[in-house]
Amino acid sequence: MSVRFDVITLFPELFAPFQTVGVTRRAFESKAVDVRLWQLRDHAEGVYRRVDDRPFGGGPGMVMLVEPLVRALAAIRADQVSTGAPKLPVIMFSPAGKPLTQARVQALSQSPGAVLLCGRYEGVDQRFIDAHVDEEVSMGDYVLSGGELPALALIDAVTRLQPGVLHDAASHEQDSFSDGLLDCPHYSRPEVLTLPDGESVGVPPVLMSGHHAQIARWRREQQLAITARRRPDLIEAARSRGELSKQDEHFLSNLGL
C-alpha cells in the first residue's frame, strides 16, 4: 500500500527538488509515497486568477477565498475516484492546530494518506475550514509564511518510515520520540578525538565494551537524563502511560533535578 499526499499549494515548485535528493527519494521514485501537487491558481477564475481578498471587518492581510479551494478539492476528489484511491482526510497547517507528534506521523505512515492544504496570507476563510478540513496541525509556537514548509516536514517524516527507505529498517525505532523520550548521544570514529587545544576526548567506555545489556542500559539512562533536563514534560507523559520501570524511576530520582 502506498501513501498518497495531494498538496494544495500556490508554490508547487518548492516540492520538486525535495523529491529528488536524500534517502527519501527512493520512496518517491517507487511511488511508495505518491505526492500530487495541485496549483490553487489553476482553480481560480478571472484574468488574474485571484485566490485571496480583503477580510470582512477590516484588518491587515488577505484571506484565502473559499471558491478556488472548493474547486481544487473537487478536482482532487475526482482524481482520487478515477485512480481508485480512497477519500483522504484534509489536513491544514495552522498555529491553532494540534502539535505534530511522532505518534501522529507513525499513524499517517500506515494510512492511505491525506490532502494537505498549504495556507498563505492572513489565513483561510473559516467557512472552508468548517466544511472541509478534518484536522489542523501545528509545527510549533511560531508563524511561517505559508504551509509549504510544514507540508514538506510532514511528508519527510512520514516518508522515512516507509519500508526500504532507510538503509537500516530499525533506525527510526531509535529516533527521538519513537518511545516517547529524546534520543541518546551517538559516537563514531575516531575512538579518541584530539581537540584544537590538545585535549583528548574519548568515546564512553561502555560503548566499546561489547556488553550489549550494559550498552542498552547506558543508552536508556542517557535518554532519561537528556529528556528529564530538556523536556521534563515528556518524562511526565511517559510516567502517566506507565512506560517507566522501577529502574528508570530510581535513576531519575538520583539525578537531583
Domain ranges of the chain: 3-159, 176-253
Taking only the tens place, the pLDDT of each residue in 5-42 is: 999 999 999 999 999 999 899 999 999 999 999 999 99
Q: Given this model, what pLDDT does residue 91 score?
A: 98
Q: Given this model, what pLDDT does residue 100 score?
A: 96
Structural contact between residues 135 and 90, judged by C-beta atoms closer than 8 angstroms: yes
Cell of 57: 471587518
Q: For the chain, how far is it from start to end, CA to CA, in angstroms?
A: 46
Q: Given this model, what pLDDT does residue 165 score?
A: 87
For the question of residue 89 being annotated catalytic, the response is: no
Question: Hey, what CATH topology would domain 176-253 get?
Answer: Trp Operon Repressor; Chain A (1.10.1270)
Question: Into which CATH architecture does domain 3-159 fall?
Answer: 3-Layer(aba) Sandwich (3.40)
Q: What percent of the chain has pLDDT over 70?
A: 95
For the question of residue 41 being annotated catalytic, the response is: no
For the question of residue 217 being annotated catalytic, the response is: no
Q: Given this model, what pLDDT does residue 6 score?
A: 98
Choose the catalytic residue: 120, 148, 150, 160. 160
Q: Given this model, what pLDDT does residue 253 score?
A: 97
Choose the catalytic residue: 34, 79, 156, 175. 175
Choose the catalytic residue: 95, 99, 190, 204. 95
For the chain, which ranges sit under pLDDT 70?
A: 167-178
What pairing do the DSSP bridges indicate for beta strands 200-202 and 192-194?
antiparallel
Taking only the tens place, the pLDDT of each residue in 62-71 is: 999 999 999 9
Structural contact between residues 232 and 181, judged by C-beta atoms closer than 8 angstroms: no
Please tell me if the domain spanning 3-159 has the same topology as the one spanning 176-253: no
